[in-house]
Amino acid sequence: MYRKTHFKARPDLYQELSKEFGAYFSRMSTYWKRISARYPRQIFILMLASILLSGVLAFTVMRVKDTGPLPTLSGPGADVTQGFGQIIGAGQALKKVLDLQNQINIVLHKDSLTAADSLLVKNAIRQLEIIHHELNVKPTH
């Protein structure tokens, strides 16, 4: 009833590759160590030459040609982006309207008004009218 269960762990990819090709990997590593110890300067020059060659090729032969103009959105995607633009514009206009109303309320709560206050209210009302006309423009398409 109380037997110990024995199981083998599943071998992973690294273990299987090392079993199969381990001898080849060890031979290659000892061969590379021998060559790199014998010719370090030549290997360094070869690495620098390959870096320079790849840089020259990247900026001359493999250069990407100029692409044409990007396609414009048409159809339902364009309507969605235009709708988002209108929503953002309306939000900015609303913020501007609230700021102007706040300025007018500050002026109206003063005990005495000056000429500068009347000019401020006049300009604020003019800006409110401009915002009203911008938001109520009918699209022509």
Determine the Cα–Cα distance for residues 12 and 34; give it in Å rounded to an integer. Answer: 31
- What pLDDT digit, counting tens, does each position of 58-87 carry? 988 888 777 777 766 566 666 666 777 778
Over residues 90-105, mean pLDDT? 90
* Distance from C-alpha of 84 to C-alpha of 91, rounded to nearest angstrom: 11
Query: Hey, what amino acid is at 54?
Result: S
The identity of residue 59, as a single letter, is F
Other C-beta atoms lying within 10 Å of the C-beta of residue 135: 13
The pLDDT value recorded for residue 35 is 95
pLDDT grade, residue 31 (50/70/90)? very high
What pTM was estimated for this model as a whole? 0.40
- Are 131 and 93 contacting, i.e. CB atoms less than 8 angstroms apart? yes
The answer to whether residue 107 scores a pLDDT higher than 80 is yes
In this prediction, residues 41-49 reach a mean pLDDT of 97
For 50, the token pair is 């390959």
How many Å apart are CA 62 and CA 54, to the nearest integer? Answer: 10
% residues pLDDT > 70 (the chain): 87
Residue pLDDT, tens place only, 16-28: 888 899 999 999 9
As a whole number, mean pLDDT of residues 93-109 equals 90
pLDDT reported for residue 112: 87
Encoded tokens for 104: 């007018």
pLDDT, mean of residues 103-124: 89
Query: For residue 136, with 0-12 CB atoms within 10 Å meaning exposed, 13-18 middle and 19 or more buried, which class applies?
Result: exposed
